[in-house]
A and B are shown apart, each in its own frame.
Chain A
Amino acid sequence: MHSADGSRPWTFYFFAAFFGLFVAFLYGPMVVIYVLSFQGPTGGMTFPLNGVSLHWFDALISQSRVGDIAGSFQRSIVLAAVVAVVTVLVSVLAGLAFRRPFRGSAFAFYLAIASLIMPGLFVGLGIALTFRLLGLPTGWYSSGLGAQLTWTLPFGLLIMFAVLGRFNRSYEEAATDLGATNWQKLKEVTIPMLLPGIIGVALFGFTLSYDEIARTALAAGAKNTLPLEIWAMTTNVTSPTLYAVGAVTTIVSFFVIVVALTSIGAIQRRRSRSNT
């Protein structure tokens, strides 16, 4: 609020400065990385730019010594998609189930949520040890997938709780009243009405998986996921290729988010086109 002489109170400047700092910390380094990824062929890992080129993006694809970027990228996308699907399936069904109180429901809920507060590195370590103990081979698609689900499922469940908390039961009763079977009720009313929330869960599952390190690191087995590959590169790759990797992976993340948000937006708009 403006004071009488038109100047703003000191809190305005304090919080404006804080917000400015936050934005600088968040986007500054990213911008630097994107700019440096267009470094000329003779440039190094720091400024100044020695010309502008796509050289390092090219190197990303062609050079084998930068590591298995293409392979790890493929694994990460597949893994993230699988995690998103499993997270959606399990948390939607669990969310629906938790609407009806059953014996031990509170216990089951806390048991599921507890994995959010366990240190991720140890969850991954424990999973890897258990696999070894049982004589099963660890791999990104088995132990790695499991490790990531311990992280995404509780999140998905919490989101579904929030979504279902605002969902009025009378829509489902109306469907039953009009003769819908349980399956028709789910398919024709519940799922379509919850769809924006479900897309949100999928998006969350995907992005949480796509950049997960702590739980995956020790449970992924021999083949790396993309974040693990990049992590390894930071220690042994000394060219702007690293920046090119950063730029490409961010674009993928952005793409996923934009697709999710526009589809949610389209659904909401369709439902609430105003009377005007």
Chain B
Amino acid sequence: MTQATGSGAIGGGQVEVAGVTKRFGETVAVKELSLTIPHGSYCCLLGPSGCGKTTILRMIAGHENPTTGDVRIGGRSVVGLPQVERGTAMMFQSYALFPHRSVLDNVAFALKVRGIGLPARHNQARELLAKVQLEKFANRLPAELSGGQQQRVALARALITNPRVLLLDEPLSALDEYLRLRMRGELRRVQKELGITFVHVTHTQLEAIAVADMVVVMAQGRIEQAASARDIFVAPRNAYVARFVGGQNVLSGTVESTMNGMAAVASDKGARFAFPVGEIRPARGAKLYGSIRRDRIGVEKMLPGAKPAGGLNTTVGEVHTLENQGSYVKVTIDLDNGEEFVAHVPDDTFFRNPLDIGDKVEARWSASDVKLLDDGPIAFEAAAVEARAASAD
């Protein structure tokens, strides 16, 4: 691609959000939030509706200013700078393609307002359209394109200024399932090719995990966990992340004893689990939370009248739903205490000895697969350690 304005040369595309709070009147959309997105990485902001994802994106883009705190791009504070000087570009949720301009003129718009002549800007726009396989549609109006094509035009239009950071607000939500899967791969490919920073807002857990280097899970204006996509999935920090990202069951219980880095924990219903606790020595009676991956659980049918084998790391319930997902079967179990427990059983294992809805089953897992979550007294302990460290310096 030809350098249009050379904004890529200003500096790296590292995005830092430093202690930012954003209020809209009474509403606090973003609370004391700090986040560093490394240059050239693909970052997904993930969270439920209204948690402040769009607000963060808009503050990076300069469409909103933080109430307090700083936003830095490439190491330089950009608060109050016009959009052009930030080296960011935004792809809007509804694409916001100008309906009165052709596809070519939409893509060339940024060059037009920079005073670049017609032939030059059309040439560059054509090159970019070719990159997204839309050169045939250059003279159409946006309304004459399909959703997927419009999305690619929006991408081309945002990229023509050679931004160092591309901000995407739910870029795939307007597409159908098939296109969504294809386009997310496409976005990832473009990001790798350009080597710039992408910040992508989404509601969809699997979308975030599929494309991102770094996933930021948010709740109510705060970050619950910022980590690699793999860590978010296999090592959620707390019960909120484990539940929101899915793929995990959350266990809880009170500590009975601790030995050799393992805590014996009893749930309210009397089931007994072992949690690996490492160096932490939780007090007897403290409440602990742990997570266990859905695909690390074995499910066995209990014969009628049989007593549960009991023992460590099992729980008993009734099969509520069965969903065949092809390579595995999703078994949802209603536990005796009314909670839901989900196991992903590999298809060959499942069909060797199939279950039925309503079957009494026992789920079992290995203690070493359990991850201790940062909730309950553990969280307080961690906070106390932080506070001590802060007061020490």
Contact = CB atoms under 8 A, between A and B. Distances in A.
A168 B100 contact: no
A90 to B, nearest CB: 24
A22 interface: no
A5 interface: no
Given A271-B141, A273-B144, A177 B83 contact: yes
Interface residues of A, number: 24
Interface in B143-186: 143-146, 157-158, 161
B63 interface: yes
A125 interface: no
A167 to B, nearest CB: 11
Given A179-B113, A181-B113, A174 B92 contact: yes
B113 A170 contact: no
Contacts of A171: 96, 98
B277 interface: no
A192 B99 CA distance: 10
B186 to A, nearest CB: 21
A272 interface: yes
A64 interface: no
Contact of A178 (B93, B94, B100, B161): B161
A170 B93 CA distance: 9
A221 to B, nearest CB: 43
A178 B109 CA distance: 7
B110 interface: yes
B288 interface: no
A176 B83 contact: yes
Interface residues of B, number: 27
Contacts of B63: 173, 176-177
Contact of A271 (B84, B94, B109, B143): B143
Interface of A is mostly: helix
Given A171-B96, A177-B90, A270 B161 contact: no
A184 interface: yes
B84 to A, nearest CB: 4
B142 to A, nearest CB: 9
A35 interface: no
Contacts of B84: 179
B112 interface: yes
Given A168-B96, A189-B98, A177 B109 contact: no
Interface in A145-187: 168, 170-171, 173-181, 184
A58 interface: no
B114 interface: yes
A175 to B, nearest CB: 7
B264 interface: no
Contact of A173 (B88, B92, B143, B157): B92
A22 B143 CA distance: 39
A178 B89 contact: yes
A273 B139 CA distance: 12
A275 B144 contact: yes
Contacts of A235: none
A193 interface: yes
Interface string B67-93: 000000000000000011000111011
A179 B7 CA distance: 12
A179 B83 contact: yes
Nearest to A275: B144
A175 B109 contact: yes
A193 B63 CA distance: 21
A174 B143 contact: no
Interface in A189-239: 189, 192-193
Contacts of B109: 175, 178, 180, 188
A274 interface: yes
Contacts of B145: 275
A180 to B, nearest CB: 4
A178 B141 contact: no
B61 interface: yes
A181 B113 CA distance: 8
Interface in A77-125: none
Candidate in B144, B145, B157 with the most chain A CB atoms within 10 angstroms:
B144
A173 B89 CA distance: 11
Given A176-B83, A193-B100, A170 B92 contact: yes
Contacts of A181: 113
Given A270-B141, A273-B143, A180 B99 contact: no
Nearest to A171: B96
Nearest to A173: B63
Given A170-B92, A170-B94, A175-B113, 13 more contacts: A170-B93, A173-B63, A173-B90, A178-B161, A179-B84, A179-B114, A179-B161, A181-B113, A188-B109, A188-B113, A272-B99, A272-B141, A274-B144
27 contacts: A170-B93, A171-B96, A173-B96, A174-B90, A174-B92, A175-B98, A176-B63, A177-B61, A177-B83, A177-B88, A178-B158, A178-B161, A179-B83, A179-B114, A179-B161, A180-B109, A180-B113, A189-B98, A193-B98, A270-B141, A271-B99, A271-B100, A272-B143, A273-B141, A273-B143, A275-B145, A275-B146
Sorted nearest first, the 4 A-B pairs with minimum C-beta distance are: A178-B110, A174-B96, A170-B96, A180-B113
Interface of A: 168, 170-171, 173-181, 184, 188-189, 192-193, 267, 270-275
Interface of B: 61, 63, 83-84, 88-90, 92-94, 96, 98-100, 109-110, 112-114, 141, 143-146, 157-158, 161
